[in-house]
Amino acid sequence: QYLLAIETSCDETAVAVIKNETELVANVVASQIESHKRFGGVVPEIASRHHIEQITVTLEEALQEAGMTLDDMDAIGVTEGPGLVGALLVGVNAAKGIAFARQKPLVGVHHIAGHIYASRLEKEFEFPLLALVVSGGHTELVLMKGHNDFEVIGETRDDAAGEAYDKVARLLKLPYPGGPEIDKLAAAGEPVIDFPRAWLEEGSFDFSFSGLKSAVTNKLHNAGQKGEEFRPEDVAASFQESVVEVLSTKTKKAAEAYGVKQVIVAGGVAANSGLRARLLETFQETDQELLIPPLKFCTDNAAMIAAAGAVAYRQGHRAGWDLNAHPGLDLEEYGKRGRN
């Protein structure tokens, strides 16, 4: 059984083909990072235009890589939300066009469900499992008791982890996207600055990163005024240490509290070398199995949308010809859709 999936929620135009839920047959990602770099972030209008220009060639390239045609597909999946509305609409309309023309079933997919299902391309899920979602727009701990069964047990109260990385990178005058830049810089520094850790109330699995961002801003500002010198490497390492310590500690506590079998790390920040190393260390001594996707499946791609979409398809999720982009699609509600 073959499913073709399209992802256009942000600044990557991506198409993938998957066989029997977990076997990747084709995976093509066209990134627009270069076009957004000079603006220091993703410009929604530019993103939409790029998707329109890229969608057809990306689709053709994926089919070529698979050595298949649209008629060989059993279903078409597409990221329906969350994301930028103009960007999502390009993928949604392309998927609708294909599905209508070839009379194939259409499946709407949640982008964050996709980030989580990226791990299933590597290893079969064992429930209950806990997913730490750390991306550009989301930071949450998600409990799964079965396929497409999502319970958000903690989430950020302000900035997402990736957003914090990008903002601090801007303070350090690093290019966009800032996450990988801070990661590199941090590797050459020492965490000598004691930035705050936002633990929040006892027992809370929520996160907060805006205080940390302000602390970095103040530190740089005060240092500038007093003529103090800070190595950017040390600022990056200290910032990263604060983020990684909070993320790994809360994930470990939640994994224990809910007695999960597996822990999944998902989203762009899962590519962070400091976070990966700390989580590997943290879960080495526990009974829980840690799944971290390879780097190319951490940031946006369509392989993960195909992996999530194939499960939704099996469960009976079906979108109609009125499928629309849903920029604020809720993960828990999405999961309840087709389950029976």
Q: Please enumerate, by residue number, every residue annotated as part of a binding site for Fe cation.
A: 111, 115, 300
d(C-alpha 152, C-alpha 266), whole Å: 14
Single residue of 50, 96, 111, 250 touching ligand ATP by CB under 6 A: 111
From the list Fe ion, Mg ion, ligand ATP, none, partner contacted by residue 138 (C-beta under 5 to 8 A by kind) = ligand ATP
SS3 of the chain: the string is CEEEEEECCCCEEEEEEEECCCEEEEEEEEECHHHHHCCCCCCHHHHHHHHHHHHHHHHHHHHHHHCCCHHHCCEEEEEEECCCHHHHHHHHHHHHHHHHHHCCCEEEEEHHHHHHHHHHHCCCCCCCEEEEEECCCCEEEEEEEECCEEEEEEEECCCCHHHHHHHHHHHCCCCCCHHHHHHHHHHCCCCCCCCCCCCCCCCCCCECCHHHHHHHHHHHHHHHHHCCCCCHHHHHHHHHHHHHHHHHHHHHHHHHHCCCCEEEEECHHHHCHHHHHHHHHHHHCCCCEEECCCHHHCCCCCHHHHHHHHHHHHCCCCECCCCCCCCCCCHHHHHHCCCC
In this structure, the chain runs to a length of 340
How far apart (Å, rounded) are the C-alpha atoms in residues 231 and 209?
22
61: its two tokens: 């390239």
Which one of 104, 161, 300, 304 is in contact with Mg ion (CB under 5 A)?
Answer: 300
7 binds, among Mg ion, ligand ATP, Fe ion, none (CB under 5 to 8 A by kind): none
Residue ranges of the binding site for substrate: 133-137, 166, 179, 183, 272
| Candidate list 4, 10, 116, 271; residue touching Mg ion; CB under 5 A | 10
Residue 284, token pair as written in the block: 């080495």
**Dihedral (CA of 102, 89, 87, 113) sign:** negative
Closer of 241 and 300 to Fe ion (Cβ): 300
Smallest separation, CB 292 to Mg ion (Å):
18
Partner whose footprint covers residue 81, from ligand ATP, Fe ion, Mg ion, none (CB < 5 to 8 Å by kind)? none
Mapping DSSP to helix (H, G, I), strand (E, B) and coil, where does residue 42 land? coil
Q: Is 137 in the site for ligand ATP (CB under 6 A)?
A: yes
Minimum separation from the CB atom of position 224 to Fe ion (A): 34
Q: Which residue is nearest to ligand ATP (CB)?
A: 268
Q: How far is the CB of 293 from Mg ion (least distance, A)?
A: 15
**Binding residue for ligand ATP, selected from 177, 189, 293, 309, defined by CB under 6 A:** 177
Is position 189 an interface residue for ligand ATP (rule: CB under 6 A)?
no
212 contributes a contact to ligand ATP by CB under 6 A: no
Provide, rounded to whole angstroms, the least separation between the CB of residue 2 and ligand ATP.
Answer: 25
Q: Based on the shown chain and the rule CB under 6 A, indicate whether residue 108 belongs to the binding site for ligand ATP.
A: no
The correct pick among 3, 269, 279, 323 for binding ligand ATP (CB under 6 A) is 269
Considering beta carbons, is residue 29 or 235 the nearer one to Fe ion? Answer: 29
| Binding flag, residue 135, ligand ATP (CB under 6 A) | yes
Q: Does 293 bind ligand ATP (CB under 6 A)?
A: no
Which CB sits closer to ligand ATP, 125 or 176? Answer: 176
Comparison of 136 and 274: residue with beta carbon closer to Mg ion: 136
- Contacts for 222 with CB less than 8 Å, ≥ 6 apart: 228
Q: Does 81 bind ligand ATP (CB under 6 A)?
A: no
Task: Kindly tell me which of 181 and 300 has the beta carbon lying closer to Mg ion.
Answer: 300
Q: Which parts of this chain interact with Mg ion (CB under 5 A)?
A: 10, 300
Residues engaged in binding ligand ATP (CB under 6 A)? 9-10, 82-83, 111, 115, 135-138, 162, 165-166, 177-180, 183, 267-269, 271-272, 299-300
